[in-house]
Amino acid sequence: MTTRDIIGLAIVSVVAVVLIIIAILLLLGKGSSLIAGYNTSDDKEKYDTSKLCRFIGKILLPISVFLPLVAIGGIYDIRWLHFIYIVMVLVIVVFAVIYANTGNRFRRQ
């Protein structure tokens, strides 16, 4: 491992830790201002804020936990780790978009 590899892994790890902290904050039902689009919405009273925050936290947590694998894959030239991470993120994002936009799951009753 070179110095550049260590610096890259450290930067990616710091970003991952920050994202994990944000995910935990969202899992606790707090931090709705961090959700893109919800912060500027005029219809906030129509949505269950804590339910929406917990959902976004569940989506963000695996994405951030596995982020250092990309750096490790780059350091040790393991290309399939990049592919696995990209596929995982795409599957999670597609699931999240479909789940969030069907069934009025986050609307207040």
Determine the pLDDT at residue 40: 83
CB atoms near residue 83 (< 10 Å): 11
* pLDDT for 47: 87
> Which stretches of the chain score pLDDT less than 50?
none
pLDDT at residue number 103: 86
Q: Where are the chain's structural domains?
A: 3-100
**pTM of the complete model:** 0.86
Q: CA triplet 33, 63, 27: central angle to 5 degrees?
A: 45
pLDDT of residue 27: 96
pLDDT recorded at residue 35: 86
| pLDDT attached to residue 25 | 96
What's residue 104's pLDDT?
87
Quick one: tokens of 86? 């990209």
